[in-house]
Structure 1
């Protein structure tokens, strides 16, 4: 059992099941991101944790206590919204102090905590300003400080950076992660941005149609996607259909060619599967020990700055491979036949 436990959560609106059989155990101090497209249920799950939505069924436990029937203001949770949600008629300092004031904290403690929070977010001299006098990034820092000021047990962030421009997002995500690690606060972060989730999280929950398709570390999610959806949603991934010929040693037929993966597939002979491989895992050249190879025809080459992307045709299926852009690098001609090679372990077999 973790510090924050979600046990078989379900949420329906009328006849629509938005969250289905969702279970997750989060350790104290862990940073977990809910990642997925719009409508996958990630924000609804966050709102159930916060107490803004009531689960149709299931349990939510914080520190071993079931809080499903506990009011939001009694859950000791801090929340940061996408829209900042600062009080426009209050100064920065007053916004940060709001939760402490509502809880009845002594005035001197409030003042000291506000100073501490403003220093932590790098705005020690802006306490007297109003929200409209701040940039978007500064407003989101204030919203974070306001959420953290009462020292909550859990911090929830609902796409807090999506309204900001790219450069500020990169800077702020590093700051949020550094603050979270410094305070050791258990954090749930909702985002549709893969890069944010991969760079910030201890673990990622990839959500799809109300369920957790895969839960794992950023490396596990990226390098070993468990389903077709995760594979297609996270990063760039080549996918081709194949037919199992020998399940025991991993022999499949793909694009009219035989490929031996050298591992049991757990599928029956004749079963259709999807093979997947990252562009950077492919190279042009004969396969070496532990590698597999396939013949393909070059369709085009694309200059992408740091890399050159080569697109090939494999029995009617397009594949991309990335090569570093080095001076004097030789690229194959369009229309030429090449041999693609990859480590057998880098070729994934996906489930639906």
Structure 2
């Protein structure tokens, strides 16, 4: 049985439906990320789970208890917001203690729990400071401690790292994941940042226009995207127009050159146009022997990026990008130079839906 179950969840604001019949199950102790662009419905789902928004229809169950119509304080949920939402007139100690005081815990219990949380976020020396005296990363740690102090059943994180600079984001996401594993708390994390989602999650729920596009592990989402949206949103991807020449054998023609997948093309017929996806890291320079695929083209662009050289290869009507490591003893290829790229049969992704 799932720890958190969302069934046919829908939310409508006037004539705009932002969440459209979402079904989702989260296991106890799981770290699930809702990933998608702005306006896809991910934060609205989080707010409905927290009780800050009431669903237009559908149900939310925690440990098989229907909490759909309960108020936020009745759900035992901790939430961390993008903008920290700390009380500016309270010290770090008092911010962390706030939820415990609202729950009418004893003074000794509050003091012990606050000390525990300060140690957990490694900020015991800052207990008497005010939010304006803290860095952004420190403020977000305090917000996290305040959410965890009440020992919630579920921790909800609404883009908590987006206001921080890149270096702090990386270190804090590692801390959040380590804390989540240490505490074993069921967590839902909302972000539009694919790197955050891929590096932190047990599973990722990719959303678009109020619906779930794909649900799976980071490995599955990145390596086996099911739709054009997922393929283009998660990671860098080359998407080419292909024409099926032999569905059963998995043969596809790209710009007059035939490539072979490692599986049959179920649902496609000979002559159908399909969208073919290739990750840049799957492509290598040079002609390969054996079962690998080869495509002949011309160097279109070369961009030197330090440790990486990004090369764009044009065929007839389409082009692909690939990255190679910089080698000081080998000059990068030049524009206009004929070139062959190769890739394995298993590296070809034929996406669902129309070619374009």
Q: Which TM-score band (shorter chain)?
A: over 0.9
Matched, 1:285 2:293: no
Distance (Å, rounded) in 2 between the aligned partners of 1:109 and 1:290: 67
Distance (Å, rounded) in 2 between the aligned partners of 1:75 and 1:289: 59
Determine the structure 2 residue equivalent to 1:108. Answer: 108
Matched, 1:192 2:196: no
Task: Please list, as runs of the form range in 1=range in 2, the aligned pairs for 1:29-178 lying within 5 A after superposition.
Answer: 29-178=29-178
SS of residue matched to 2:181: helix
Please say if residues 214 and 226 of structure 2, whose CA atoms lie closer than 8 Å, have aligned partners that are also in contact. Answer: yes
Please say if residues 251 and 262 of structure 1, whose CA atoms lie closer than 8 Å, have aligned partners that are also in contact. Answer: no
Please say if residues 121 and 141 of structure 1, whose CA atoms lie closer than 8 Å, have aligned partners that are also in contact. Answer: yes
Shift of 1:282: 0.4
Give CA-to-partner distance per residue, 1:24-82, whole Å, 9 cap, x none: 11111110111111001000010010011111111111111111011111000000001
Distance (Å, rounded) in 2 between the aligned partners of 1:22 and 1:315: 42
Shift of 1:290: 3.1
Shift of 1:262: 4.3
Distance (Å, rounded) in 2 between the aligned partners of 1:40 and 1:289: 44
Please say if residues 7 and 23 of structure 1, whose CA atoms lie closer than 8 Å, have aligned partners that are also in contact. Answer: yes
Matched, 1:337 2:332: no
Determine the structure 2 residue equivalent to 1:253. Answer: 253
Shift of 1:7: 1.2
SS of residue matched to 1:101: helix
Distance (Å, rounded) in 2 between the aligned partners of 1:93 and 1:258: 66
Give CA-to-partner distance per residue, 1:315-340, whole Å, 9 cap, x none: 22121111111232353332122211
Distance (Å, rounded) in 1 between the aligned partners of 2:277 and 2:158: 32
Q: TM-score of the superposition, structure 2-length normalised?
A: 0.96
Task: Please list, as runs of the form range in 1=range in 2, the aligned pairs for 1:209-248 lying within 5 A after superposition.
Answer: 209-248=209-248
Shift of 1:170: 0.9
Distance (Å, rounded) in 1 between the aligned partners of 2:98 and 2:71: 18
The 10-residue stretch of structure 1 (77-86 or 265-274) with the greater mean CA deviation from structure 2: 265-274
Please say if residues 155 and 185 of structure 2, whose CA atoms lie closer than 8 Å, have aligned partners that are also in contact. Answer: yes
Please say if residues 262 and 346 of structure 2, whose CA atoms lie closer than 8 Å, have aligned partners that are also in contact. Answer: no
**Aligned Cα root-mean-square deviation (Å):** 1.1
Give CA-to-partner distance per residue, 1:124-145, whole Å, 9 cap, x none: 0111111111111111111000
Determine the structure 2 residue equivalent to 1:275. Answer: 276
Distance (Å, rounded) in 1 between the aligned partners of 2:324 and 2:308: 5
Distance (Å, rounded) in 1 between the aligned partners of 2:153 and 2:315: 53
Matched, 1:350 2:344: no
Q: TM-score of the superposition, structure 1-length normalised?
A: 0.98
Determine the structure 2 residue equivalent to 1:298. Answer: 299
The 10-residue stretch of structure 1 (72-81 or 131-140) with the greater mean CA deviation from structure 2: 131-140
Distance (Å, rounded) in 1 between the aligned partners of 2:21 and 2:293: 39
| Structure 2: runs of 5+ lacking an equivalent | none
Please say if residues 59 and 68 of structure 2, whose CA atoms lie closer than 8 Å, have aligned partners that are also in contact. Answer: yes
Distance (Å, rounded) in 2 between the aligned partners of 1:233 and 1:329: 33
